[in-house]
Amino acid sequence: MSKVVLITGASSGMGRASAEFLSAKGFVVYAGTRDVKEIDNYKNENITPLKLDLRDQKSIDAAVAFIKSQHQKIDILVNNAGYGLVSSVEDVKEEEMLNQFNINVFGALRVCKSVIPLMRENESGLIINISSFLGKIGLPLLTMYNSSKYALEGITDSLRYELKDFGIRVHSIMPGFFDTKFARQNLVTNEKTFDANSPYAKIVATLAPVIVEQINNGNSAKEVAEMIFEIIQNPKFPARSTVGDKAKKFIPMKKELSDEDFERRVIEYYNL
């Protein structure tokens, strides 16, 4: 019997690449998104677009109930949906701050809350959280995004303990910068921070173009899909793994250096 996969944020980027890759491997994939019109052009019959609003527990519960009615199980959950807010802490609006966590953190928790009972009943399951290497290191202007991914890493750690007795594995993938639509569609900027007269204008001018360039020239999203497949296949896969050049560069460096030395390296690398 084919394994059933639910992927959030599956309309583009890593989510879409993962849906296409896993469906080609014979998995039954439910591609979750707020607007199913964005993904009605999937050509694989193993992929079913599914309306899923991470801000609404009722929407999530309805989507999970539909999958259950079709298969009586969800074998794999990939929490992929997310976006990045670029703002100084001084300028960030309350709404922007809450929205960042509502999608990146609370959205993932809501889906887990809905899927876990089904996995627990079946005494089997796999949850993969698509985090970021910025869930382990900080960068200026990305405080909200950084902290949301730090939170996702904490969720991964805690759930590994909480769910192990039910046969449910939990893993985190920490990508670096990838060539997806993230920089074009999933970066939200604060107007005051990006104003020419902002006290943060210098750091915006220095950092923002570099980050966008690194994303647009980053690794292929297929690498994330391949790692998801590896995790599915290997019950002894590490709790978290990096994928992509920047993640493989910075995460080991952070482990090796003191906080102060690592900070100096980041300042030098990004000319901060």
The one-letter amino acid code at 174 reads M
Residue with token string 């390296």: 265
The answer to whether 216 and 183 are in contact (CB under 8 A) is yes
List, by residue number, the catalytic residues.
11, 131, 145, 149
Q: Is 14 helix (H, G, I), strand (E, B) or coil?
A: helix
Tell me the two tokens of residue 172.
């985190």
The answer to whether 236 and 171 are in contact (CB under 8 A) is no
- Strand-strand pairing, 240-243 and 187-189: unpaired
How far apart CA 200 and CA 222 sit, in angstroms, is 35
Number of H helices, E strands in the chain: 10, 9
The answer to whether 96 and 188 are in contact (CB under 8 A) is yes
The CA angle 247-217-219, to the nearest 5 degrees, is 45
* Region class of 141: left (phi > 0), else alpha (psi between -120 and 50), else beta: left
Phi/psi at 53 (5° precision): -110, 110
